């Protein structure tokens, strides 16, 4: 496949093409890369997490990290050829400081190591990454620019340069006369010229600044009348310049807003983290309320499909078609591409409409390529399920609307890894847990304390587990599946140091016991009152 690599240098020139591709797409697949997964041990995913608890953990981490890449692939159906044309765009993202906006973010070493192993270009990321703002940041910067308060956000080098320019003007102005000119050179490649012009004009009432063809600042000594005239003449162009500056700073946020406006189906693979990152970096700071987040995301993107969740739901169907996969995106993509005739006849062809910057090759974990793989997997699964459910042996090309009808049951369900529930529902009530019952562990030997690391070593032989200590002698264990839970209970039935059983809230929880005894006390008192009144 080919894809377009988008950086600060070519973003403006490619933007009309991206806009057209989004407007005409049948659906859009996405993928992101970021600088970290979880900020500390408290924000790691756990099998004990419910949906709201997981959101709170992800919210905390996402506020600390930033996006480094985002990939978009637009799929357009050509009914005549039973073909989907695609355009893939691979964006490098990097926040750009301006005024008081000087963002800070953390990095997780393992995440950077992962990016490095997958040929991530760190120099391109920092030097050519496209900026972005959320709505609050845009509003604050717009207000600052209107008020002219931009000096406070300069870095040390720019601040030193501005002070030097001001010193030169201050030394020159008293000995000059109206009409005299001073030319000031700027550092090569300086991106703070707008701030320099604005600050110089604010500090000195009897000058006016402009730029010459050599990117130098031209300072003219002017009288009060000419200064007022120039300010009036410059007002509209100054406002236009501010508007253009904000547009440049918005960067990828402009693409995000196109996605919102289009209301096209959005497809991703295990995309909860992607959605939370996009909300925080391009829309608004993440709300405290999980319900508010769900409501807002559903309003932005009313039709979302997660191929990780779809695979989880139809794994047995795929295995019946001799497609065995863990759900890893690359593994799923390779398996589906090698078994298109098994999945169903007349699979639509997929082709790129234009050659991009990347050669015909695979780049797993590059956001653009992953977005393409995800979209292909979604189409293949749509086709397979459509004919599985119709039960028809008369295969024919299907419209994308036909696919959407078939996939409706998966709509707005987003996969949740290692949690109490398998997925969250963005447009409805929270789903019920399908996880196995919790396991209660109790020390049976007097004076023996439970150690979570030892329990993990024992139980992880049977599958993934998480352990929550209740006290030094009691613990609760969450297993990833029913087989694992049964194996643990069976294997440790006669263990000399611990007693293992199914966790029962009313029996093993102090809160449950208090509620139970409280209820019994109330029932007893009520019974006595009734007997007395009788």
Burial of 388 (0-12, 13-18, 19+ CB in 10 A): middle
- Predicted pLDDT of residue 352: 78
Tell me the pLDDT tens digit for each residue of 115-157.
999 889 999 999 999 999 999 999 998 888 877 666 555 566 6
- Predicted pLDDT of residue 19: 97
Read off the pTM.
0.82
CB 87 within 8 A of CB 27: no
- Predicted pLDDT of residue 516: 46
Helix ranges (H only) for 25-154 are 51-62, 109-117, 122-128, 135-147
Spatial distance between the Cα atoms of 389 and 404, rounded to a whole number of angstroms = 13
Residue 141: both structure tokens together = 């910067």
CA angle 486, 488, 494 (to 5 degrees): 110
- Predicted pLDDT of residue 360: 46
Q: What is the mean pLDDT of each run of 10 residues along the chain (534 residues)?
A: 89 96 97 95 92 96 97 94 93 88 92 91 95 95 77 65 90 94 81 78 90 88 91 78 88 97 97 97 97 97 97 85 80 82 74 64 79 94 83 71 94 94 92 86 88 92 91 92 92 91 76 53 54 56
**Paired sense of beta strands 266-268 and 67-78, if any:** unpaired
């Amino acid at each position: 496949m080919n894809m377009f690599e988008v950086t600060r240098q070519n973003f403006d020139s490619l933007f009309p093409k991206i806009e057209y591709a989004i407007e005409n797409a049948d659906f859009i697949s996405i993928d992101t890369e970021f600088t970290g997964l979880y900020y500390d041990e408290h924000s790691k995913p756990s099998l004990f997490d419910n949906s709201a608890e997981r959101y709170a953990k992800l919210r905390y981490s996402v506020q600390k990290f930033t996006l480094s890449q985002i990939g978009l692939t637009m799929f357009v159906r050509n009914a005549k050829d039973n073909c989907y044309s695609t355009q893939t765009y691979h964006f490098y993202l990097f926040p750009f400081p301006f005024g008081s906006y000087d963002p800070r973010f953390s990095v997780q070493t393992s995440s950077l190591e992962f990016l490095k192993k997958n040929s991530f270009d760190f120099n391109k990321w920092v030097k050519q990454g496209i900026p972005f703002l959320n709505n609050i940041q845009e509003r604050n910067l717009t207000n600052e620019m209107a008020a002219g308060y931009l000096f406070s956000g300069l870095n040390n080098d720019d601040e030193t340069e501005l002070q030097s320019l001001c010193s030169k003007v201050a030394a020159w102005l008293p000995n000059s006369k109206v009409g005299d000119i001073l030319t000031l050179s700027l550092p090569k490649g300086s991106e703070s010229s707008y701030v320099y012009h604005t600050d110089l004009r604010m500090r000195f009432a009897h000058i006016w600044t402009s730029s010459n063809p050599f990117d130098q600042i031209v300072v003219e000594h002017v009288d009060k009348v000419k200064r007022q005239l120039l300010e009036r003449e410059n007002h509209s162009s100054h406002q236009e310049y501010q508007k253009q500056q904000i547009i440049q700073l918005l960067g990828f946020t402009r693409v995000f807003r196109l996605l919102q406006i289009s209301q096209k189906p959005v497809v991703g693979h295990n995309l909860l983290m992607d959605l939370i990152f996009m909300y925080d970096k391009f829309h608004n700071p993440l709300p405290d309320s999980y319900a508010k987040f769900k409501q807002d995301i559903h309003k932005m993107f009313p039709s979302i499909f997660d191929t990780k969740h779809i695979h989880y739901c139809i794994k047995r169907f795929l295995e019946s078609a001799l497609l065995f996969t863990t759900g890893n995106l690359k593994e799923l993509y390779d398996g589906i591409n090698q078994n298109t005739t098994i999945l169903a006849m007349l699979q639509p062809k997929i082709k790129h409409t234009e050659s991009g910057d990347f050669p015909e090759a695979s780049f797993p974990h590059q956001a653009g390529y992953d977005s393409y793989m995800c979209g292909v997997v979604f189409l293949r699964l749509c086709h397979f399920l459509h004919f599985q459910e119709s039960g028809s042996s008369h295969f024919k090309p299907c419209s994308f609307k036909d696919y959407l009808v078939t996939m409706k049951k998966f709509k707005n369900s987003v996969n949740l890894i290692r949690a109490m529930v398998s997925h969250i529902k963005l447009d409805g009530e929270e789903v019920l847990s399908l996880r196995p019952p919790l396991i209660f562990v109790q020390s049976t030997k007097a004076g023996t304390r439970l150690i979570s690391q030892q329990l993990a070593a024992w139980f992880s032989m049977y599958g993934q587990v998480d352990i929550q200590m209740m006290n030094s002698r009691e613990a609760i264990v969450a297993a990833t599946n029913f087989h694992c839970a049964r194996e643990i209970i069976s294997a440790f039935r006669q263990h000399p140091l611990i007693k293992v059983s199914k966790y029962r809230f009313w029996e093993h929880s102090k809160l449950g016991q208090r509620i139970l005894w409280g209820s019994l006390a109330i029932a007893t008192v009520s019974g006595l009152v009734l007997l007395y009144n009788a």
